[in-house]
Amino acid sequence: MSSYFSESFDNGIGALNHTWGNGIDTSVRGQVTISGNSGIMERPWGDAAGHGYGTYSITASMTGNAEGPAALLWPGNDKWPGPEFDLAEVINGTPYGTMHFRGSNGGDVYGSVYYTGVDETKVHTYSLDWQPGSLTFSVDGRVYGGFTDNVGRDYDHGGINEVFSIMNRSGGTSITVYDISYSPSGGGGGGGGGNAVQAEVTTSGSSTQPATSVASNGQPAWWPAWEAAWNANHNSGDTSWQGEFWAHVAAGDYMMA
């Protein structure tokens, strides 16, 4: 089982030391900016590389208001198409999250959740909760949607783990990341029960079908606790509280009675 992980970029790229391109700027302590055709990631050395079921968070801002920057989880075995989970990308001025998987014909199949109303040029925390049979996408604690079909399994359950990756693919855009964190769940809790939130699934880049995720009365059950934790800690300069919070969420401590 994976263990808790975080990176605050106080010492450059830190654990995301698999790099490419010349647009990696670590001149400001506590952040990394990626521009041009460049990227950083944890080393994708095999199926067990990286992390499994649990909650992933990336705090970032993006410039350019166009396709190019991405904060994502890449298959630990470095093989694509495969289980790639994008926490934040931009298209037509709208940020979104995406689940990719290998289709029956070996090609890429994907579904997207759009973060309508979110200004990606501002600093936001993009989160993904990965559980057996479900992915749930959130921004600043608000659930925007997710998927319950074709969700890949982690290494401990016969599948492939994921590694953190930050990249940019355009000369006119960039992404700045301030911290990342992962809190393991062991495959329990998260992503279950509540009202459905609609997302859009694109198969082979063409047809669409509905997919569902979970929320309670339009917000997750843990939302009040997140607001309280955010108000108490977000100006402290210490991001360790986020990992502790998501660990409680994964354990079901904030589930509604």
Domain 5-250 fold is Jelly Rolls (2.60.120)
Q: Quick check: 202 pLDDT over 80? A: no
**DSSP string computed for 149-195:** SSPPP-GGGTS--EEEEEEEEEEEEEEEEEEEEEEE-TT-SSS-SSE
140: helix, strand or coil:
coil
Strand partners, 205: none
Report yes or no: 166 and 70 within 8 Å, Cβ to Cβ: yes
Report yes or no: 212 and 196 within 8 Å, Cβ to Cβ: yes
3-state secondary structure 48-59: CCCECCEEEEEE
Average pLDDT of every residue of the chain? 82
pLDDT for the residue 225: 73
Give the model confidence (pLDDT) of 64-91 as tens digits: 989 999 999 999 999 999 999 999 999 8
Banded model confidence at residue 187, pLDDT cuts 50, 70, 90: low
Residue 140: burial class (beta carbons within 10 Å; 0-12, 13-18, 19+): middle
Distance CA 49, CA 44 (A): 6
- For 27: left if phi > 0, alpha if psi spans -120 to 50, otherwise beta; the answer is alpha
pLDDT for the residue 231: 63
Banded model confidence at residue 238, pLDDT cuts 50, 70, 90: low
Residue 3: burial class (beta carbons within 10 Å; 0-12, 13-18, 19+): exposed
Output the CA–CA distances (angstroms, integers) from residue 86 to 26, 137, 163, 182, 205, in the order listed. Answer: 23, 10, 11, 15, 16
Mean pLDDT confidence for 98-122 = 94
Strand partners, 177: 32, 60
